[in-house]
Amino acid sequence: MMNRRLFHVALLSTLILALPAATTRQLRADDKPAADGPSQLAKQMIGTWVLAGTPEKVEEPPANGGRYKFFTGKHWCVTQADPDSGEIIYHHGGTYTLDGDTYEETILYSTANNAGLIKQTFTFKVKVEGDTYTQIGVGNPYNEVWKRAK
């Protein structure tokens, strides 16, 4: 009985000690070891964003439906929902890297209507100012402004 308790205490301690390392890894934008941890920009990008327009025309995000972009420390996805029915119009995503303010996303999966994007990589210059994320396409037309979802 005592050995079993000791085992469970040791296992729990190991998991608790491993949690900060796993969290730090999740915050990185790629698999490269970060000598000084994730950048401030990488940390600011993590979360859920709703499309608010383009740099030329920023609007209030829709109350229902809309297009959402999600970032973790390595993965991203975009989901577009019909504002009336809530049905998914499209969904795609994959992995990304962040080097300074240069963001590259690679599409690894998609619903059928955007399947032609699979295995493509798109490059952007990105910035986060307050609750606004802006991406400017480099060699692509996807210039978008997103607001942090509330």
CATH number of the domain encompassing residue 96: 2.40.128.280
Is position 33 within any domain? no
Asked if residue 7 is part of any domain, the answer here is: no
For 67-119, the pLDDT digits (tens) are: 999 999 999 999 999 988 989 999 999 999 999 999 999 999 999 999 999 99
**Does residue 44 lie within any of the structural domains?**
yes
What pTM value is reported for the model? 0.74
82 found inside a domain: yes
Number of domains observed in the structure of the chain = 1
User: Is residue 13 assigned to a domain?
Assistant: no
- Rounded distance, CA 1 to CA 9, Å? 13
Q: What is the dihedral of CA 72, 112, 132, 105, to 10 degrees?
A: 50
Residue 21 counted as domain residue:
no
Residue 14 lies in a domain: no
Q: 43-68: per-residue pLDDT in tens?
A: 999 999 999 999 999 999 888 878 99
Q: Which domain range does residue 84 map to?
A: 40-148
Q: Count CB atoms within 10 A of the CB of residue 42.
A: 22
